[in-house]
Amino acid sequence: MPNATVRERYLGYIACLNAQAWDRLDRYIGAGVTYNGAPLGFTAYRQARQDEFRDIPDLRFAVQLLAVDGNTVASRLHFRITPTGDFLGLPVNGRCIAFDEHAFYTFEDGKIVAVWSILDKAAIEAQLTQPR
């Protein structure tokens, strides 16, 4: 696929997540999607995203940087969220936090088949040590 098409597909995926349009997610995610190298599958991937929105009512994926090379996307996503309980094993409990995610995606036949993700947990930990 041309870079412009992969870019459009990725941005469509992000819009789908932000709209919580779970009935359309299969347009963007492959049936055998992997996450950080581990097989996950579409159903588990969708459930993980649904759980995130349930636990983080103000969740919104904001693309800050986006690079496309062939069938690979590199993206820096920014989050400013208020998780209701623990997040990444940290006691956030309703505190507003901001951090970035660096993610890479591989596309095949117009769908994401592999996701690699790194969250800036250190940034969250630093915020939690600050007084409210």
Residue 82 scores a pLDDT above 90: yes
Residue pair 43/122 in contact (Cβ under 8 Å)? The answer is: no
Query: 93 Cβ partners below 8 Å, 6+ apart?
Result: 83, 84, 85, 86
Mean pLDDT over 10-24 rounds to: 98
What ranges do the domains of the chain cover? 3-128
Query: 3 Cβ partners below 8 Å, 6+ apart?
Result: 68, 69, 70
Specify the CATH class of 3-128 in words. Answer: alpha beta
pLDDT value at position 121? 96
Residue 113 scores a pLDDT above 80: yes
- Average pLDDT score, the chain: 96
pLDDT value at position 3? 75
**pTM: predicted TM-score of the whole model, two decimal places:** 0.94
Position 32, amino acid: G
Condensed to tens digits (0 to 9), the pLDDT of residues 19-64 reads 999 999 999 999 999 999 999 999 999 999 999 999 999 999 999 9
Residue 131 scores a pLDDT above 80: no
pLDDT value at position 35? 98
Query: 18 Cβ partners below 8 Å, 6+ apart?
Result: 60, 61
pLDDT value at position 23? 98
Q: Check residues 45 and 4 and name the one with the higher pLDDT.
A: 45
